[in-house]
Structures are given as C-alpha cells and as structure tokens.
Structure 1
Amino acid sequence: MIEQEALVQALKTVLDPELNVNVVDLGLVYSVKAGEDHADVEMTLTSPACPMGPEILRNAVAALEKVEGVAKANVKLVMSPPWTPERMSDDARDELGMF
C-alpha cells in the first residue's frame, strides 16, 4: 500500500519555478489520495494564467511516479476554490518574506 505521507513528501520536491517554493508549502495541493498502485492529486496554481503551470504539473506527476508502488500518478488541475496567499505555510511565508 502506498503511504500518503510519501506522496506528500514527493510533492514537496516540486517547486514553483517563479517563487522557488514547493507546491505543498505554497498551498497549491488540495487533495492527495493513494490507491493500490496509483496516486490521485488535485492541485491548483497561484494564477489561472500561470505560464509555468504545465511544467509544475509535469513535475508533480514525475515526482509522484518515483514513489515506490506508484505506477500511475493522476494530477488534476482545479481552480476552485481559487488559491490565495492565506493557504501558504509559515515556512513559505518566511521564505518569501511575507510576515
């Protein structure tokens, strides 16, 4: 069985290239579910027009498929609810100088 925490840790390796902060701490990941041999993730972007969106999604799939037991990662882009800076972790706020 795939451990959900392993999936979250894998997603922490995926950076938003413009902000250089991982997608988990940015609050872009809305749900993470582990199946028998797959992972299902719903995530968003800081902006619907984010030019780095396709790269971020590809990197998320690649990171998840490196987790032991994951044969297929399904990453779904959602825009509801919209992302806001309030979703960021304290670590992300510190890294970006937002207090």
Structure 2
Amino acid sequence: MNTDTALATAVIHALGTVMDPEFGISITDLGLIYSVDVEPERLRVAMTLTTMYCPSGQVLFDGARTAAESASDGRPVEVEMVWDPAWTPDCITPAGRAALGCTDPGEEH
C-alpha cells in the first residue's frame, strides 16, 4: 500500500468516528463522505449532508474537519461541502443500513 493510499485509509477510518446525532451512525456509513483525496500540499475531503437544511450540518462539518486533521499526517485539511450528486438513502452503506434496521427491498424476509 503506498503512502497516499495508507493516509487516505487512515483519514476515512478517522471520519468513521464522527457520528450523526440524528441517525446514530457514522458519517461514512451514512454515505456523507464522497471522497478523500491526498494531494502533495493538502488533504481534501468532499462531503455532503442529507439535506441542505440539516440542523446538525455545522456539527458534522466541524467533526469531519477535526477527524480528518487528526489523521492527516500534518497536512492542511480542506473539507468541501458538495451538493452534486445529491445525497439519497442509496448512499447508506450496508453496515449503516444494518445499524438502522433497514433491509433492501429485494431481500427476502
């Protein structure tokens, strides 16, 4: 594993510790993190919210920045809020769905 991949993995792991207070699952399992890019001079995180009017938006944004900084190996961190593509429930990971008690419509019961 190269250094950039290892750093991106560490940042994603750190982002996984940030919990959405409304859903009670991590922002990674909720599918709010779209990308983590390791660049020579900085680390960039693209994230979204479930809605532009999310009451926890600033808390989640600040939490993502703090978590990314904790694993950034000293590189400056830029967290960008993006709205395209729009978040949908399809963004939730299988682990997130399980934590929320959701099943896929195609699954047998």
TM-score, scaled relative to structure 1: 0.91
Deviation at 1:92?
0.4
Give secondary structure in 2 for the equivalent of 1:41: strand
Equivalent residue for 1:5? 9
Give secondary structure in 2 for the equivalent of 1:7: helix
Unaligned runs of 5+ in 1: none
Give secondary structure in 1 for the equivalent of 2:10: helix
Deviation at 1:35?
2.5
Query: 1:37-52 alignment to 2 at 5 Å?
Result: 38-52=42-56
Aligned residues: 99
Query: 1:12-91 alignment to 2 at 5 Å?
Result: 12-36=16-40, 38-67=42-71, 69-91=73-95
Unaligned runs of 5+ in 2: 104-109
Percent of residue pairs identical? 35
Whether the 8 Å CA contact 1:39–1:70 is kept in 2: the answer is no
CA-to-partner distance for each residue in 1:24-60, whole Å, 9 max, x for gaps?
A: 1111111111123531011100111001001100011
Give secondary structure in 2 for the equivalent of 1:15: coil
Give secondary structure in 2 for the equivalent of 1:94: helix
Quick check: which one's strand share is greater?
Answer: 1
Give secondary structure in 1 for the equivalent of 2:12: helix
The alignment's C-alpha RMSD in Å is: 1.4
Give secondary structure in 1 for the equivalent of 2:61: helix
Cα distance between partner residues in 2 of 1:65 and 1:19: 24
Cα distance between partner residues in 2 of 1:34 and 1:79: 21
Query: Larger C-alpha radius of gyration, 1 or 2?
Result: 2
Give secondary structure in 1 for the equivalent of 2:30: coil
CA-to-partner distance for each residue in 1:43-85, whole Å, 9 max, x for gaps?
A: 1001110010011000111111111513321110011111001
